[in-house]
C-alpha cells in the first residue's frame, strides 16, 4: 500500500507528540473522495487501535460518535478522532469530543477547501434552525467565523495532501510530581483539601474549580476512597449520573469490595426530598445545578465539597463562581477554594486544547466593564449576518451569556451565527457590553399550520411561544401573530442591582412595538426572585409546566407582555391560568409555597357567618380542634390571604392549598409538632385582627 505524505508525516509526529504529552490537531482540505480514500488507507500507517469517528463513511472498526451517546463515553480515550465535515459540522459535539483524544493521539478534520466550505450549508445544525428554514440549503455564518479563528491557531494544515502550515511544537513539559494514585501535584493538593473538609470545622465547604481534563472528578473519587477506609459514608450528587461516573469509577478501583457502598450517587432532588444524611457530600459539575438547589444543600449538609468545570462544554461555570460563592461568603465564612491548573492527560500547552478553547470561545476572559452611571449607555441590535464584522462584540456577548447562565453551550454560539431569526440587543458604554438580551423571532404561522398545532398534529421547531399559545393555551389565532421571545437576558454580575436589566427590557418593548410585534414572551425555570423581576417589568404568567427541569429542579413558566396585543385578552389568560393552577396544585407537589401564593388564585369566597367566625375565634384561642374548622379556615383564608403577614400566608397556603403532610410542614417551617404549629397559627390569627365580620 503506497504511503501518503499526510499519513507518513502523522506517523512520524505521533511518537514525538506522545513524548511531549500533546495531541495533534490536523486539518486536511481537499476533494471528498480523495480525502476519504486517503484516510481509510492511511489509518493503517499510524497508531489507530482505538478510532473514533464523527460524520458519515466511518469504517467498521470505528466508534461512531453522536450527541446521544457522548455522555456514555465520558472518561474513555481514543488514538485517533476523525471528523468528516463533508457531512456536516456539529459544533457542540466536536467541541466536547476533543477530550477523548489522548496524548500522542490525532485529531483529524476532513473538510472542503476553506473558500468553498464557508459557502456551503451545514446540515448538522438543523436542530438549531427554526421552521421554515431548510438546513440542507441554508448558508449560515458559523463555519466562516470558525475558520477565521482556526487560522489563528497552532494547527497542522494540509491542502490537497500538501502541508501548507506545520505545527509549532511546544517544549517538553517538566515531569509531574505527585504520589499515587494522584497524577499531578494539583490533584494531590485537591485530595488533601477534600479530606481536610472531613476533619476540619463544620460549615466550611470546599470549592474545586478546573478546566476539563484536570482530574477534579477523579480527585473526588480518590478522596472518597481514602475516607471509606476510615469508615466514613460519602454521598455524591451531580446534574446526571453520567456526570458522577468518573468519581465513582476511581472510587470503585481503589477500595476493597466490602467498602463499595461507602460512596453512593443520589440525585440532588432526592437528597432534598428525603433529607438524606452523610458524613460528607460531594457535588460534581456544581455549575450546572442552580444556585437555589446548592444553597439548600449547604443548609442540609455540614460538610460538603463542590467541584465544577470553569470552561465546560455542557455549560460554563463562571456564573457559578460569582453567584454561588457570594452566598458562601455570607453563610459559610471560612470556606476554601482550590483551582486545578495542571492537565492530567496532556501538557498545558497542548495545541488541541488551545484550538478548542479559542475557536469555540470557551476561554474568553470577560473583564469587569467600567460603567459610569452618569454617562449615556447606548443600545445596538445584532443578527447573524452582523457578527463576522463584529467579532469583539460577539466574544463579549457570548462570554456574558456564559457568565450569567449555567446552561450556555457551544451550540448557543452556533445559533447566534447561523439562526437568522435570532436578535441580540446590547446595552453598551465605551465599546463595552454591559448587558445583553437574546431574542427569538417567532410566530407568524399560517392559519392551517396554527390549527394543526392546536389539534396536536404538528410541533413547530423554534416557535416555543406559538406552540404554547396554540396548543397549551388553546389560542391558535395568536400563533399567527409576530411574537418575540426573550430567551436570555444577562447583565454583568458586578453591574447588577442597577436596573440595567429592566432598562434592557424597556428597550426591547419599544423596539417590539416599532416592529409591529403582537406580544413579547419569555420562558424559564421559575423561582421567586426571577418571577418578581419579570412581573416588575410588566410580564404576566400564563402557563406553568407540570414537570421540573432535570438540571434546575424548577418548573418552566411562560410569561407574556402586551405590545400590540389586547391587554384585556392577556389579563383574562392570566386570570384563567391562576384559577386553574389553584385547582390543580396536586400536580405540583414540589412547587415552592411562595410561588404558589404569587401565581395561584382561588375562586371568590363568600364571607363567613357570625357563627362560623366564632368557631375560628375559638380555634385561634386553642378551644377548637383544627379538623373541626379546617373547611371554615380554608374559606376564610381564600378571602383574606393577601391581608395576612407573609409568614402566616406561607403556613396556611402550604397547609390548606398545597395540603402538605404534617411531616412536610414541620420540616418546612421548623416546628417540633403539629400541635405547636397550629398553636402558632392561632396566635397569628388573633393578632391579625381579621377574625371579625366584614365591614
> 127 and 208: one domain?
no
Q: Which residues pair with 282 in a beta bridge?
A: 236, 305
**Sheet bearing 422-429, strands edge to edge:** 378-383, 422-429, 432-443, 482-491, 519-525, 555-562, 540-548
Measured distance CA(217)–CA(247) in Å, rounded? 5
pLDDT at 68: 77
Question: Could you say which of 112, 134, 165 is where a domain stops?
Answer: 165
pLDDT tens-place string over residues 160-200: 889 999 999 999 878 777 889 999 999 999 999 999 999 99
Measured distance CA(576)–CA(561) in Å, rounded? 16
pLDDT at 184: 92
Is 139 contained in some domain? yes
Is 170 contained in some domain? no
C-alpha cell at 363: 476561554
pLDDT at 366: 65
> 557 and 615: one domain?
no
> 594 and 614: one domain?
no
pLDDT tens-place string over residues 449-497: 999 999 999 999 999 999 999 999 999 999 999 999 999 999 988 888 8
Measured distance CA(525)–CA(552) in Å, rounded? 7
Is 131 contained in some domain? yes
Identify the CATH number of the domain in which residue 400 sits. Answer: 3.40.630.30
Q: For residue 329, how many C-alpha atoms fall within 13 Å in the half-sphere facing its CB? A: 6
Measured distance CA(470)–CA(476) in Å, rounded? 4
Identify the CATH number of the domain in which residue 57 sits. Answer: 3.40.50.11040
pLDDT at 317: 47
Contact by Cβ (8 Å): 445, 463: yes
pLDDT at 72: 61
> 119 and 196: one domain?
no
> 583 and 632: one domain?
no
Contact by Cβ (8 Å): 551, 288: yes
Is 127 contained in some domain? yes
Which positions of the chain have pLDDT values less than 50?
1-2, 312-317, 695
Is 366 contained in some domain? no
Question: Could you say which of 286, 312, 340 is where a domain stops?
Answer: 340
> 382 and 511: one domain?
yes
pLDDT at 288: 77
- Reduced to 3 states (helix: H, G, I; strand: E, B; else coil), residue 337 is strand
CA 114 centroid distance within chain: 33
> 316 and 445: one domain?
no
> 313 and 436: one domain?
no
CA 676 centroid distance within chain: 41
- Residue-number span of the structural domain to which 615 is assigned: 610-688
Query: Residue holding cell 378571602?
Result: 639
Is 271 contained in some domain? yes
pLDDT at 695: 42
pLDDT at 692: 86
Measured distance CA(448)–CA(421) in Å, rounded? 22
pLDDT at 1: 40
Is 542 contained in some domain? yes
> 559 and 654: one domain?
no
> 452 and 497: one domain?
yes
Annotate 4-60 with DSSP letters as a single string: PHHHHHHHHHHHHHHHHT--EEEEEES-HHHHHHHHHHHGGGS--SSEEEESS---T
> 583 and 618: one domain?
no
Contact by Cβ (8 Å): 90, 115: no
Is 433 contained in some domain? yes
Exposed / middle / buried, residue 670 (Cβ in 10 Å: 0-12, 13-18, 19+): exposed
Annotated binding site: 187, 345, 489-491
Identify the CATH number of the domain in which residue 189 sits. Answer: 3.40.50.300
> What total of structural domains would you count in the chain?
4
> 383 and 443: one domain?
yes
Question: Could you say which of 542, 576, 599 is where a domain stops?
Answer: 599
Annotated binding site for ATP: 187, 345
Amino acid at each position: 500500500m503506497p504511503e501518503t505524505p499526510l499519513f507518513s508525516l502523522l506517523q512520524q509526529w505521533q511518537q514525538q507528540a506522545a513524548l511531549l504529552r500533546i495531541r495533534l490537531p490536523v486539518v486536511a482540505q481537499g476533494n471528498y473522495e480523495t480525502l476519504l480514500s486517503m484516510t481509510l488507507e492511511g489509518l493503517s500507517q499510524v497508531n489507530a487501535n482505538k478510532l473514533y469517528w464523527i460524520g458519515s463513511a466511518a469504517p467498521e472498526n470505528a466508534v461512531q460518535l453522536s450527541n446521544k451517546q457522548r455522555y456514555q463515553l465520558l472518561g474513555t480515550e481514543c488514538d485517533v478522532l476523525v471528523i468528516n465535515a463533508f457531512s456536516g459540522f456539529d459544533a457542540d459535539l466536536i467541541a466536547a469530543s476533543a477530550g477523548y483524544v489522548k496524548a500522542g493521539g490525532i485529531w483529524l478534520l476532513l473538510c472542503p477547501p476553506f473558500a468553498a466550505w464557508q459557502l456551503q450549508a451545514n446540515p448538522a445544525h438543523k436542530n438549531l434552525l427554526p421552521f421554515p428554514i431548510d438546513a440542507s440549503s441554508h448558508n449560515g455564518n458559523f463555519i466562516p467565523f470558525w475558520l477565521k479563528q482556526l487560522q489563528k491557531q497552532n494547527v497542522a494544515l494540509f491542502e490537497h495532501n500538501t502541508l501548507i502550515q506545520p505545527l509549532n511544537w511546544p517544549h517538553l513539559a517538566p515531569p509531574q510530581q505527585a504520589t499515587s494514585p494522584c497524577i499531578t501535584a494539583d490533584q494531590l493538593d485537591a485530595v488533601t483539601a477534600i479530606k481536610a473538609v472531613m476533619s476540619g470545622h463544620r460549615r466550611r465547604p470546599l470549592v474545586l474549580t478546573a478546566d476539563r481534563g484536570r482530574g477534579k472528578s477523579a480527585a473526588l473519587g480518590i478522596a472518597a476512597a481514602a475516607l471509606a477506609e476510615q469508615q466514613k459514608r460519602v454521598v455524591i450528587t451531580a446534574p446526571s449520573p453520567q456526570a458522577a461516573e468518573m468519581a465513582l469509577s476511581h472510587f470503585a478501583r481503589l477500595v476493597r469490595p466490602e467498602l463499595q457502598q461507602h460512596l453512593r450517587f443520589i440525585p440532588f432532588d432526592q437528597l432534598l426530598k428525603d433529607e438524606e444524611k452523610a458524613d460528607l457530600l460531594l457535588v460534581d459539575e456544581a455549575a450546572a445545578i442552580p444556585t437555589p438547589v446548592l444553597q439548600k444543600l449547604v443548609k442540609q449538609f455540614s460538610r460538603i465539597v463542590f467541584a465544577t468545570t470553569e470552561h465546560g462544554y455542557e455549560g460554563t461555570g463562571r456564573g457559578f463562581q460569582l453567584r454561588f460563592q457570594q452566598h458562601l461568603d455570607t453563610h459559610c465564612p471560612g470556606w476554601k477554594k482550590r483551582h486545578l491548573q495542571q492537565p492530567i492527560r496532556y501538557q498545558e500547552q497542548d495545541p488541541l486544547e488551545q484550538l478548542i478553547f479559542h475557536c469555540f470561545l470557551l476561554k474568553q476572559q470577560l473583564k469587569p466593564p467600567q460603567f459610569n452611571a452618569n454617562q449615556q449607555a447606548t443600545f445596538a441590535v445584532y443578527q447573524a449576518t452582523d457578527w463576522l464584522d463584529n467579532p469583539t462584540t460577539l466574544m463579549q456577548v457570548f462570554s456574558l451569556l456564559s457568565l450569567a447562565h449555567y446552561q450556555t453551550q457551544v451550540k448557543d454560539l452556533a445559533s447566534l451565527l447561523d439562526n437568522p431569526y435570532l436578535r441580540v440587543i446590547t446595552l453598551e458604554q465605551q465599546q463595552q457590553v454591559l448587558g445583553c438580551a437574546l431574542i427569538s423571532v417567532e410566530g407568524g404561522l399560517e392559519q392551517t399550520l396554527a390549527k394543526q398545532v392546536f389539534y396536536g398534529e404538528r410541533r413547530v421547531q423554534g416557535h416555543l411561544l406559538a406552540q404554547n399559545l396554540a396548543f397549551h393555551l388553546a389560542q391558535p389565532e395568536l400563533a399567527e401573530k409576530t411574537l418575540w421571545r426573550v430567551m436570555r437576558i444577562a447583565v454583568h454580575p458586578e453591574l447588577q442591582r442597577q436596573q440595567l436589566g429592566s432598562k434592557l427590557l424597556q428597550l426591547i418593548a419599544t423596539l417590539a412595538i416599532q416592529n409591529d410585534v403582537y406580544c413579547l414572551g419569555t420562558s424559564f425555570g421559575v423561582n421567586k426572585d426571577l418571577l418578581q423581576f419579570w412581573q416588575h417589568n410588566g410580564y404576566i404568567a400564563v402557563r406553568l409546566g407540570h414537570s421540573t427541569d432535570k438540571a434546575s429542579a424548577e418548573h418552566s413558566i411562560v410569561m407574556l407582555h402586551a405590545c400590540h396585543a389586547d391587554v384585556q385578552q392577556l389579563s383574562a389568560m392570566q386570570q384563567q391560568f391562576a384559577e386553574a393552577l389553584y385547582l390543580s396544585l396536586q400536580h405540583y407537589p414540589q412547587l415552592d409555597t411562595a410561588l404558589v401564593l404569587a401565581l395561584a388564585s382561588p375562586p371568590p369566597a363568600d364571607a363567613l357567618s357570625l357563627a362560623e367566625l366564632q368557631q375560628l375565634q375559638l380555634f385561634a384561642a386553642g378551644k377548637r380542634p383544627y379538623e373541626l374548622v379546617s373547611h371554615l379556615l380554608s374559606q376564610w383564608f381564600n378571602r383574606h390571604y393577601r391581608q395576612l403577614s407573609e409568614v402566616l400566608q406561607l403556613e396556611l397556603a402550604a397547609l390548606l392549598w398545597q395540603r402538605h403532610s404534617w411531616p412536610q410542614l414541620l420540616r418546612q417551617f421548623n416546628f417540633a409538632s403539629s400541635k405547636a404549629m397550629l398553636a402558632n397559627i392561632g396566635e397569628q390569627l388573633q393578632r391579625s385582627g381579621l377574625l371579625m365580620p366584614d365591614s
